[in-house]
Amino acid sequence: MKTPTISVSIAGLFLARFADAAFGVTTKANSFSVDTNAGLLFDVSRSTGDITSLLYNGVQYQGTTKMTHINSGLGSSKVTADTVNGYVRITIAGGSQPLTQYIVAKPGQPTIFLATHITGEINPGELRWLARLKRTAVPTGWHGDVATLDGCTAFEGKDTFKCPNGQTRCKMYTSDRFIDDQVHGVTGKNVGVWMIMPGVAYETSSGGPFMRDINSQSGDDQELYWYMNSGHVRTEPWRFGLHGPYAMTFTNGTKPSPNLDTSFFSTLSIQGYVPSSQRGTVTGHATGIPSPFQAVLHWNNTQAQYWTVAAPTTGLYTSPLMKPGTYTVTLYRNEFPVAKDTVSVTAGATTPRNITSTESRPDVVWRVGEFDGQPFELRNGDKIERMHPADVRMGPWGGNYTVGKSTPGKDFPMALFAKEGGPVTVSFGVGAAQAAAETVLRVGTTLSFKGGRPSVKVGGWTGKDPGAPTLIDSRGVTRGAYRGYGDVYTWKIPAGTLKVGTNTLTLGVHGSGDAAFLSANYVVDAVELQGPRGADSPSV
């Protein structure tokens, strides 16, 4: 009869322990311990600001060898904790770095709210939140196994791996466009750990709506990231000020909503925080974007950036809440810029502003692909975000394409390399009127590496080298990137160059560099021949 008594006692102690649990922060010898009163208890080092424990529903998720922190940890820092208006606020002044990190807890939510304020560039050139979690507890990374390193060996730099089956892995392959990336995470049995970037979390980042950066990596630890700034295909300078609020939250595995309320930050005296009442909006119609392309609007200046997508039928849009100031606004057809304007935003006001595409529409004899700033409709374009060009699952590079017979997704490569795959030849027919006219060859690119740009030859005519584009000092297409500055090149082909019947365009690469896929290269957006259309012209 003693056994039931012991069981009741243990159960009572268990219930009493959790009945006594309450929201708040406790100071320990080496850490501040925070109880969210929602199943999540976490500890923050009093000397470094690292998160050293992540206990959720009784399970420890924090890795054992490296901690969770901003960048790779700040080292010795000034760390303080207090309770402000019912919320726990931990403030970390980052030693020699021009950085202040805020960690905030809200009663009844298993969420670590975060904000990062910087006054200068961070050494070594990137700004990220990095959670190092027990992989046994959350084994599944973002986008599955694209950054799972088990049994794989680094073959390009220290971050790109090849596996015994010929597949490739890289943490860059977990990235998504900022405009799409409001929630990402890692998961396990009945659990998910998620980064949430609500509202204006990206406003002080750099790179615009189509920038992509690392989200996770599955190695010894399960690494969960949110990148605010980096040198990965960097196209503009850093912005300084407050990054966030953003958050790391725990669930039963279900992906959380991106609509996370962070308005309570206005009560916490967070450096650089601008409440909704001190912001304004822009609204209007974006027109001239044909279906099925998205009409994307992007506002930016040296202090902030914002974006939205106009309604597909009406073109109606309303911007996010923006800091007051004057902004350049760019209208994109998908990711291809088609109009620019400027607009001033006033706190507490809505500014009306319409914008319409200024893209010219000359007659086109033929076109391969679409001028939309994306290579996805071309061969290997459906794979390039998640694997290396050398991956065994990739199709060939270079090749031959016949206008009117070939299929872009099967026969025209989404990138060309100076020392891998060779050029692509495009065979096309013209009639007498087209042969007698001056025509224009137009080649759109979305990203260049090591100065790679198109070389063109039609019959005995060779187009002039357009010169190297602006250099982006970062590997691109081999790490899943397809977008940089985006350059469009045109050549006037003299009348009489084209011959009645079949003609051949040879499209290659100016530039050299290292071997194979690290040689000069560029990503193709689209290729078209502009000129008078004849009865035998293919549809475009």
CATH code, domain with 262: 2.70.98.10
- Tally of domains in the chain: 3
pLDDT above 60 (res 540): no
Q: What is the pLDDT of residues 320-359, one digit of tens each?
A: 999 999 999 999 999 999 999 999 999 999 999 999 999 9
Domain coverage including residue 344: 277-356
Is 351 in the same domain as 374?
no
pLDDT above 60 (res 10): no
Q: According to the 3-state scheme, what is the secondary structure of 213-231?
A: CCCEEECCCEEEEEEEECC
Q: What is the pLDDT of residues 275-313, one digit of tens each?
A: 999 999 999 999 999 999 999 999 999 999 999 999 999
Q: What is the DSSP-derived secondary structure letter of residue 144? A: B
Which residues touch 331 (CB under 8 Å, ≥6 apart)?
286, 289, 295, 296, 297, 337, 338, 339, 340, 341, 355, 356, 357
Which tokens belong to 224?
Answer: 């969960």
pLDDT above 90 (res 60): yes
Is 368 in the same domain as 352?
no
Is 216 in the same domain as 179?
yes
Residue 514, in any domain of the structure: yes
Residue 147, in any domain of the structure: no
Task: Tell me the average pLDDT across 133-145.
Answer: 98
Q: What is the pLDDT of residues 384-423, one digit of tens each?
A: 999 999 999 999 999 999 999 999 999 999 999 999 999 9
Report the pLDDT value the prediction gives residue 94, as an integer from 0 to 100.
77
Cα gap 48→94, rounded to integer Å: 8
Is 327 in the same domain as 295?
yes
Is 389 in the same domain as 301?
no
pLDDT above 50 (res 14): no
Q: 200 vs 299, which has greater pLDDT?
A: 299
Residue 158, in any domain of the structure: no
- Asked if residue 304 lies in contact with residue 345, where contact means CB atoms within 8 angstroms, the answer is no
Could you write out the DSSP letters of every residue in 463-524?
A: PPP--------S--GGGT---SS-EEEEEEEPTTSS-SEEEEEEEEEE--BSSEEEEEEEEE
Neighbours of 13 (CB within 10 A): 9
The β-bridge partners of 510 are: 453
Cα gap 265→276, rounded to integer Å: 11
Task: Tell me the average pLDDT across 89-99.
Answer: 92
pLDDT above 50 (res 32): yes
- H or E segment at 409? helix 408-411
Residue 2, in any domain of the structure: no
Residue 13, in any domain of the structure: no
Cα gap 168→152, rounded to integer Å: 8
Task: Tell me the average pLDDT across 471-482.
Answer: 96
Burial class (CB in 10 A: 0-12, 13-18, 19+), 348: exposed
Is 50 in the same domain as 192?
yes
Residue 321, in any domain of the structure: yes
pLDDT above 70 (res 268): yes
Read off the amino acid at residue 178. F
Task: Tell me the average pLDDT across 113-126.
Answer: 94
pLDDT above 50 (res 494): yes
Is 244 in the same domain as 323?
no
pLDDT above 90 (res 6): no
pLDDT above 60 (res 151): yes
pLDDT above 60 (res 537): no
Is 403 in the same domain as 309?
no
CATH code of 313's domain: 2.60.40.1120
Out of 311, 326, 356, a domain closes at 356
Out of 356, 389, 422, a domain closes at 356
Report the pLDDT value the prediction gives residue 261, as an integer from 0 to 100.
94
Task: Tell me the average pLDDT across 228-252.
Answer: 96
The β-bridge partners of 104 are: 89, 113
Cα gap 280→345, rounded to integer Å: 6
Task: Tell me the pLDDT band of 95, cut-offs 50, 70 and 90.
Answer: confident
Is 82 in the same domain as 101?
yes
Report the pLDDT value the prediction gives residue 536, as an integer from 0 to 100.
53
Is 192 in the same domain as 56?
yes
Could you write out the DSSP letters of every residue in 143-157?
A: TBTTTB-TT-EEEET
Is 471 in the same domain as 396?
yes
Cα gap 52→73, rounded to integer Å: 11
Residue 69, in any domain of the structure: yes
Is 178 in the same domain as 282?
no
- Give the chain's largest Cα–Cα span: 106
CATH code of 398's domain: 2.60.120.260
Q: What is the DSSP-derived secondary structure letter of residue 461? A: E
Out of 356, 383, 416, a domain closes at 356
Cα gap 162→170, rounded to integer Å: 9
Provide, rounded to the nearest whole percent, the portion of the chain with pLDDT above 70: 95
Residue 148, in any domain of the structure: no
